[in-house]
Each structure stands twice: as structure tokens, then as C-alpha cells.
Amino acid sequence: MSRDARYDILFEPVRIGPVTAKNRFYQTPHCNGMGRGFPAGMAEMRGIKAEGGWAVVCTEEVEVHETSDHSPVVEGRLWDDGDIPVFARMAEKIHAHGGLAGLQPNHSGYTVANHSTREIPIGPGDMPVEPYVPVQARAMDKADIKALRRWYVDAAKRAKAADFDIVYDYCAHNMSMQMHFLSRRFNRRIDEYGGSLENRVRLFREVLEDTKEAVGDRCAVAVRFAVDELMGPDGLTCDGEARDVIEMLADLPDLWDVNISEWSNDSQTSRFADQDFQGDYTAFVKQMTSKPVVGVGRFTSPDMMAGLIRKGRLDLIGAARPSIADPFLPKKIEDGRIEDIRECIGCNICVSGDFTSTPIRCTQNPTMGEEWRKGWHPEVIPAKKTDSHVLVVGAGPAGLEAARALGQRGYAVTLAEAGDALGGRVAAESALPGLSEWIRVRDHRQWRIEQTADVSVYLRSRLTAEQVLELEADHVVLATGARWRADGVGRALTDPVPGLDALPVHTPDDLMAGRLPDGPVLLFDDDHYYMGGVLAELLRDAGRDAILATPAADVSHFTHFTLEQERIQRTLLERGVEIRAQRTLARLEAGGAVLACRFTGREERVACAAAVLVTARLPERALYDALTAEPEALEAAGVKSVTRIGDCLAPGTIAAAVYSGHRYARELDEPPKDGLPFRRERVALPVAGR
């Protein structure tokens, strides 16, 4: 296929100072949970993106000094020359595919506590650091500021030595020293670095000028700048000081990379923001500088991308999450395969890796983070080793991905789904408030399966063990999902809730099937991810009064890791949901429920007509148990294996289910690996005596 001429504009080269991007696709800096901890994995992941057509591929934020230690969060690190080889490897991987490598040095000021180095944090003034830890930063004097500038110069020179093409001056997300000096909230200095905007922007300008002097003969220097903090007059605004800053520095950098801050604003989930949600804030920048501008907005539509360029809004299409969901997004547009793009669903499971200090993962792209340690490529998969016929039972996220990937390998696959539509839990959950884009998980795989001749799909096909045996499959894969428990057992409660027969009890499965309770409802959330919050919204949409009780300190607690907890809680409060945090469910009674304080056990009764229990799930394993109960029958039918995947094996996230299905497809008929199922990155001990 050939590229649609409408998208030719996206493949024009763009000059960025002394270097040229081969097209307009720009992977902006993003964290990945690998960095200094898994440098080979980080380099391979970035290299795959360059192979996929991204003209510029950037690092995450990279620490410039031991007083900016992000531990336990895993970021990049350029403290000294010994760190150069890590980034040289990444640059080499990117250059191998014609991409430009960008590096974002950063000193995080108030954002870090220096847990590992035990150095005293530094900042514009004497203030506590942002994490909830008993650590305070000391105010920087002139010698400290001079040293800070030198650290940035040293980092820039190391980036150049590592053969990077673009070096950043980072002033965004409230996670950089430049931002802390610029902000009136953090900077109360009375010297030439405080007070007026011209003084507060001084450090930002100095680092920019220092960096250009250090590397500008060969490397471009980019500025990453937050044009609005969504705080009104209490912060930077696109029609106030941010505009003035850009006017001051307009043509000094080689490129402007603009966004909104904080990170939770910049990376809003699809639950709360549409594609191009930053456009209203960043559109003015292009009119104030002659230098190229890159912006982000979870762009997945080629038509929107091309339109932004034609309208003069942007010069380059920035992306972090869309490049994670599909590293080959540019290549697919170039090849005329836009239907094949794995569109980001905006769930932010990728972000959670940074908070858990673990390698990045993605709901749409199960190979993300596995490029080096498992050798998984997002577009390439080994051909089948045998002529086996595989039966996949269940067409939820795990079953769909298994069938799709098995079909890509060339296996003959039968996919049997008990319901009258594909998607399983994805189809049900995407109908909940704010989750409509999650249906992309199903739609992408359904489309790919429809293009694969060797995958046959059968709906309304609930199979018994006897019917499975009659199909004469060599391998049987059970992706039959899980059901929500109706007894309250979960993390906080290990025994069923007393009084389950005292009033109507519902589960998330009931509500997603349209069976909503009547009257005031108590929703007990011991799951702590998105389900409790979206069901509370669903109940309010249906006109039900709702009380959400949870053993956690706040609602949907895990969503702190996906940058949406505050928006969820604010939404529920604004919708009139009553929240009772740090409460367990003691018992149900006629006309109400009894909650108990987690700490004192003190009980309180709340009136309700029904309860919704969002606690834990049980695998649907009846078919598995029936099949494996008669091994002789399996052998007689020629079935070599019966395997559970996804929620049928262990209920988890949709990302985990997709990964499980993909892993099964990758490993079928492959020789077993000795030892661990992946390569480890080991820490090399120093030579004795050093």
C-alpha cells in the first residue's frame, strides 16, 4: 500500500538548529521505569521506536547530580562520565534507524528527597520537598547556583559525548529546578534570581545559554516549557507570565516543546480529556517564535496530526503515550496502513511503572518493556514451529490477543465466544462512564483477526468439555475470564460479610449488565482501581444516591499511579457521592449497612436499600476443571495441552490479560528456556581494590 497524499505533510523534514528531523513525528521525553536500572532494556525500547519511524526519540528526565536523586523511582542518570556508555548505546540504537536522539537533563529541586544519596536537597528557598517525607531542602546561595549551572553544562557535554543530537533545557511539570525558580509559589528570593519575572526567569535563561555554548556547534538545544498550570493566577498561565517568558526567550532555543503542568495535567487519561486537550493552551506559541514547535495531546488520528501542521499550530507532532501503544505509528501512516495502528486508550497503565519503579507496560502493546529482556518486537513474531490447530475459548482481551498473535504466526485458530459479541470485559467496561476509548483494545484485535485467513471466529458458542474434545484441537486455550465476588471477600475482609441476605447485594457484573439496584446504595470498594469510582458515577447517572466506603485513605487509591486519583475524587464529590474512607464493611442489616473504622473499630450505621460489593474476582475455571479431570479423554482426543490465560488464570488488569494472551502465543511450540524466562540486567561489581 502507498501513503495517502493527505499525510505527505507529516513526512516533510524539519530543521532543528544544526540537525534535521527526517519527518514530523517526535517522541517527547517520557519516563519508562527502566532508565539506570535496566539500561539495555531502555536502549532497545527507544531503538524500536526509531525503527518504527519516529524522527526524534528522547530519553526520560536524566539526573545531573547526586543532589537530584529520584530513588526509588528509576530515571536516567548522568552524574559523571561513567554514565556516558548507557546513553551512547541508546543513541546508537536510534541512529541505526535514521532517528535523532534527544536527552533531557534535569535537576529536580524540591521534587526529590535524595533517599539513596542522603544528600540535602536544594532549591530556591528553605522548603519541604514535595513527597510526603520529613525532608526539607536548603536554600541555594550564589555558589550553589553557579555549581548547578556547571552540572547542567557537564551533563550537556556528556550528552554530546554520547552522540546525542538534541539536549533539553527542562522547565515543566513542577519537576525541574528551572520551574521552581520561575514559580512565585516556590521562589520568594529577594536577590537577582527572585521577585520580578525577569529575575525569576534568569536561571532558565542561563541554563539555556550555557547549554547552547556547550553543545550548540553540533547539537540542537530544545526547551521544554509548561505554558499553563491550570491554577489560574496562582500559577503560570498561557495568557499571563508563560506568554511573557516565551516572548523573552522566543528565538533563543532551537525548538520549543510545550505542554501544560503538572504531570497529571499533561498526561490526563481519556476518562477526563479528549485528544488534543492541550491545544487551547499551547496554540499561541507558534505565533511567538520563528523556531519549530512541538506539542502533545495523545494524538492518534493522522487527520488531526496533518490538520495541526496545516493550521500552523505545530511543526512537529509530539507523543509519549501514542508512541508506547504503537512504536510503528509513523511507519504505518507512511505505508498506508492507518487501520493497523494500535491507538492509545489513555488508561495510563504505562505511567504506573514509574511509580512502582518497574519497567513500563502498556494495555495495547504487550511487547512494551519486553523488547530486550524477552526479545519481543511489536510487529515481528516468529513463524509457527508446527501445524498445530489451537482452540481459544473466550474472546476477551486475553483470548483476542492470543488468537490474533497465533494467527500472525500462521497457526490455524478457532476462537469460540459464548456471547454474541467479541470483547469480554473490555466491551462491558468500555460502556462505563469515561471509558469509551478502551473499546480500542477489542477493535484493533478484531480488525487484525478479520484480516487473518487462518483464524475462525464463532459467536454464541458456549462450549462444554465434550464439545471441546470433539473439535480435535491440538492445544486448548481457556480465556473464559472471571466474575466479581458477591460475598465481600477481598483485601480487607477474608470472610464473607455477615448479613448478605439482609438486603439486595449487587456486583460490578450486575451493574455492567444493566441490573442496577433501587434506592440509596452503599458501594463498598476494596478493589482500589477504577471500578468503584466509575460505578459510583454510573449510579449517580441513574439517579441513585450513593455512599462509597473504602478501607483506603481515599477513593480509587491505585489511580494515584495513573495520575487521576484527584480528578476521580473531585468528580465524585461534585456529583454528590458521599465518601467514607478508611472504613471496612462490618455487616449488612435490613435497611442499612454497618461500617467500622479501620483503626478503632468504632461502628456507624448508614441507611441504604442495596449494597454493591467491589472487592475481588474469581476465575471462571469450570471448563478447565472439567477438561483436566479426565486426562485420558484429552489424550484420546489428541489434545496436547490445556492452558488458562488472562483473568481465567489470575484476575488482573486488562494490560495483564493482553500480555498473558500474547505470551502464550509467543511461547507455543517454542523450546523451553533454561532458567528464567527473560534476560536479566545485572549490576557489575567494581574491580577489587577500586
Q: Residues 578, 599: one domain? A: yes
Share of the chain above pLDDT 90, in %: 96
Does a cis peptide bond (omega within 30 degrees of 0) precede residue 504?
no
Candidate list 170, 193, 530, 659, residue with the active-site label: 170
Taking residues 276-297, what's their average pLDDT? 96
Asked whether residue 32 is assigned to any structural domain, the reply reads: yes
Q: Residues 211, 249: one domain? A: yes
Flag whether pLDDT at 672 surpasses 80.
Answer: yes
Candidate list 31, 58, 344, 362, residue with the active-site label: 31
Taking residues 406-421, what's their average pLDDT? 97
Residue 222: which CATH number?
3.20.20.70
Q: Residues 463, 506: one domain? A: no
Q: What is the CA radius of gyration of the chain?
A: 27
Taking residues 322-351, what's their average pLDDT? 97
Residue type present at position 264: S
Asked whether residue 310 is assigned to any structural domain, the reply reads: no
Judge whether 281 counts as a catalytic residue: no
Q: Residues 178, 201: one domain? A: yes
Q: State the average pLDDT for the chain.
A: 96
Check the CA dihedral 209-210-211-214 and report its sign: positive
Supply the range of the domain harboring residue 505: 484-618
Judge whether 7 counts as a catalytic residue: no
Candidate list 30, 65, 107, 173, residue with the active-site label: 173
Half-sphere exposure of 587 (CA within 13 A, CB side): 8
551-603: pLDDT as tens digits? 999 999 999 999 999 999 999 999 999 999 999 999 999 999 999 999 999 99
Q: Residues 190, 226: one domain? A: yes
45 closest CA partner among 458, 368, 502: 368
- pTM for this prediction: 0.96
C-alpha cell of 249? 526567550
* Helix, coil or strand: residue 192: coil
C-beta of residue 282 within 8 angstroms of C-beta of residue 246: no
189-209: pLDDT as tens digits? 999 999 999 999 999 999 999
pLDDT at residue 143, rounded to an integer: 97
Taking residues 314-321, what's their average pLDDT? 98
Q: Residues 660, 529: one domain? A: no
Asked whether residue 303 is assigned to any structural domain, the reply reads: no
Q: Residues 466, 590: one domain? A: no
pLDDT at residue 673, rounded to an integer: 82
Flag whether pLDDT at 690 surpasses 80.
Answer: no
The burial class, CB within 10 Å (0-12 / 13-18 / 19+), for 629 is exposed
Flag whether pLDDT at 685 surpasses 90.
Answer: no
- CB-based contacts of 220, cutoff 8 Å, min separation 6: 16, 17, 18, 19, 165, 166, 167, 254, 255
pLDDT at residue 130, rounded to an integer: 82
Partners of 548 in beta bridges: 523, 579
120-151: pLDDT as tens digits? 999 999 999 987 899 999 999 999 999 999 99
Residue 634: which CATH number?
3.40.50.720
Neighbours of 633 (CB within 10 A): 15
Last residue of a domain, one of 209, 243, 266: 266
Taking residues 325-340, what's their average pLDDT? 97
Share of the chain above pLDDT 70, in %: 100
> How many domains does the chain fold into?
3
Flag whether pLDDT at 643 surpasses 90.
Answer: yes
pLDDT at residue 289, rounded to an integer: 97
Residue 605: which CATH number?
3.50.50.60
Helices (H), 514-647: 531-541, 565-574, 622-628, 631-636
pLDDT bracket for residue 2 (50, 70, 90): confident
Judge whether 344 counts as a catalytic residue: no
Flag whether pLDDT at 170 surpasses 80.
Answer: yes
Neighbours of 101 (CB within 10 A): 28
**DSSP string for 419-452:** SSSS-THHHHHTTSTT-GGGGHHHHHHHHHHHT-
pLDDT at residue 689, rounded to an integer: 60
Check the CA dihedral 208-211-217-219 and report its sign: negative
C-alpha cell of 583? 472504613
Q: Residues 587, 663: one domain? A: no
63-96: pLDDT as tens digits? 999 999 999 999 999 999 999 999 999 999 999 9
Q: Residues 516, 401: one domain? A: no
Flag whether pLDDT at 371 surpasses 70.
Answer: yes
Last residue of a domain, one of 211, 243, 266: 266
Flag whether pLDDT at 218 surpasses 60.
Answer: yes
Judge whether 173 counts as a catalytic residue: yes
Candidate list 165, 169, 266, 340, residue with the active-site label: 266
524 closest CA partner among 541, 514, 539, 543: 539
Cell 499533561: give the residue.
266
